[in-house]
């Protein structure tokens, strides 16, 4: 899988390139992994509800073809777009999402941070009172807030067309987190968003991008179980 570094660029421009790449690829087209840092933008998934966009202000809002609700992209966030032929890789969407999350969990582990999955809520979360501890999350009581005590550090939003994936995931490294307060992140009111810097991890964007690209290439270049 070839890695392509786009650097800092607009969201609209890179989304158009992803769509064109996916529409034009053939059965022998090599898979690619695009690594990007976006200008500030709110993106709304195909099922996104307008009421989750609270107060965007001067930050543009872009409707996208990916799944999920509204999120924010901005400087200091590593965004990875795997452009894959899932059928050739031999996996379905559920397994693909699992592998994306596994890559992020392993990157966080390299940084000393323990990440967690939350059932039914794609992405990766950390325990706010003990982000470096290794205990598992307790099962929430029926009707309880599943995000209590958690902060979201990585978001997923994918699109699969004719068995080929585009869009991808975002890992918060060192960014201005204020814009997340202007939305219900990924459709969850009151969900706190964190980055590595706010947890005390002094990684650069390049460090995080290299670590994430390496883990994604490991998990997505072979048709083996990622567990």
Q: Which residues are catalytically annotated?
A: 186
CA distances in angstroms from 87 to 55, 101, 164, listed in the order given: 40, 19, 8
In the chain, count H helices and then E strands. 4, 11
Decide: 201 and 17 in contact? Cβ < 8 Å: no
DSSP SS3 for 167: strand
Q: How far apart are CA 73 and CA 142, in angstroms?
A: 33
Decide: 127 and 109 in contact? Cβ < 8 Å: no
The token pair at 34 is 């695009």
> In this structure, what DSSP letter does residue 16 have?
H
């Amino acid at each position: 899988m070839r890695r392509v570094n786009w650097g800092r660029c607009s969201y609209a421009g890179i989304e158009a390139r992803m769509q064109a790449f996916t529409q034009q690829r053939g059965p022998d087209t090599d898979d690619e992994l695009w690594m990007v840092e976006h200008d500030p933008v709110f993106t709304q998934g195909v099922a996104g509800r307008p009421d989750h966009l609270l107060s965007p202000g001067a930050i543009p809002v872009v409707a996208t073809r990916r799944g999920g609700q509204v999120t924010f992209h901005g400087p200091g966030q590593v965004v990875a777009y795997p452009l894959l032929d899932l059928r050739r890789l031999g996996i379905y969407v559920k397994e693909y999402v699992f592998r994306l999350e596994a890559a992020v969990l392993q990157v966080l582990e390299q940084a000393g941070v323990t990440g967690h999955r939350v059932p039914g809520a794609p992405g990766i979360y950390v325990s706010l009172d003990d982000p470096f501890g290794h205990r598992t999350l307790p099962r929430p009581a029926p009707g309880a807030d599943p995000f209590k005590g958690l902060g979201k550090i990585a978001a997923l939003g994918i699109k699969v067309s004719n068995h080929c994936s585009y869009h991808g995931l975002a890992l918060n490294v060192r960014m201005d987190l204020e814009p997340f307060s202007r939305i219900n992140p990924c459709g969850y009111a009151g969900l706190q968003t964190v980055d590595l810097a706010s947890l005390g991890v002094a990684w650069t964007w390049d460090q995080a991008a290299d670590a994430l690209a390496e883990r994604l290439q490991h998990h997505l270049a072979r048709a083996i179980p990622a567990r």
